[in-house]
Amino acid sequence: MESIIKLENVHKSYDKLDVIKGISLDIKKGEIISLVGASGSGKSTLVRCINGIEKIQGGNIYVNNEKVNSHSSVAGKVGMVFQNFNLFPHYTVINNIVNPLDNVRGIKKDKAKKIAKSLLEKVKLGDKANYYPNELSGGQKQRVAIARALSMEPDIILFDEPTSSLDPQLSFEVFKTIKQLVEEGYTMVIVTHEIKMALDISTRVIFLDKGKIYFDGKPDEFYTHESERLKDFLENII
């Protein structure tokens, strides 16, 4: 299978704090990966490195076999969905999608509007196009953010705790949208504490602890794997 993301012995530190300690990883087209681990284990840092937002101190990162040097070199290929949605509050829902289509992909307004409309329909928000973000629920805001990420036609979408600011019902709605993307064959990495919902849709689980990978395998092996660190983690979240 085609490799979308490849990490070779990646190291990342903030001043003297080593956060990612030699991670190697190969993500193939169509994989749905749950990235789990305790708070502070380096999950956000790792996805930010993949997205080119963070400079790494060692190793290599490739997106579609091309070495990543900066955020601009991955822009468009790697989509990102954040915990806090990162929508522009002073733009309507549709303009949150139209403007990046215009500015980043250079698509003319008329065509951009059509694309944005169809993406909003895909995430079941066709009727909210002219609302402002603060008129939506958290789950709806997150679905707009997902539609915006899709509009860039990325090769992979990275979700960093997409549901952690939502209550269970809204989290479920967002997972339903993510599940729809699974069916459409998107490649995704999902950082989440919603282990059960995530494992249900994942083809692979990666468990990170203090900047290193201690489990990388199939969801059905995750709970029974013989690792003290993983056992500690599971005991703390149940």
Residue among 44 and 171 whose Cβ is closer to Mg ion: 44
Secondary structure of 45-92 in HEC code, one letter for each residue: HHHHHHCCCCCCCEEEEEECCEECCCHHHHCCCEEEECCCCCCCCCCC
Size of the site for ligand ADP (CB under 6 A): 11
- Per CB under 6 A, does 51 bind ligand ADP? no
Cβ within 8 Å of residue 216, ≥6 positions away: 25, 204, 205, 206, 207
- Per CB under 6 A, does 40 bind ligand ADP? yes
- Per CB under 6 A, does 169 bind ligand ADP? no
Q: How far is the CB of 54 from ligand ADP (least distance, A)?
A: 8
Cβ within 8 Å of residue 214, ≥6 positions away: 207, 208, 227, 229, 230
Closest by alpha carbon to 94, among 122, 133, 124, 142? Answer: 133
Which stretch, 32-40, 61-69, 123-131, 177-185, contacts ligand ADP (CB under 6 A)?
32-40
Residue among 35 and 120 whose Cβ is closer to Mg ion: 35
Helix (H) or strand (E) holding 132: none
Chain-centroid distance, C-alpha 19? 19
Residue among 107 and 206 whose Cβ is closer to ligand ADP: 206
Per-residue contact flags (x/-) with ligand ADP for residues 9 to 28, judged by CB under 6 A: -----x--x-x---------
Q: How far is the CB of 37 from ligand ADP (least distance, A)?
A: 6
Q: How far is the CB of 4 from ligand ADP (least distance, A)?
A: 21
What residues line the site for ligand ADP (CB under 6 A)?
14, 17, 19, 37, 39-45
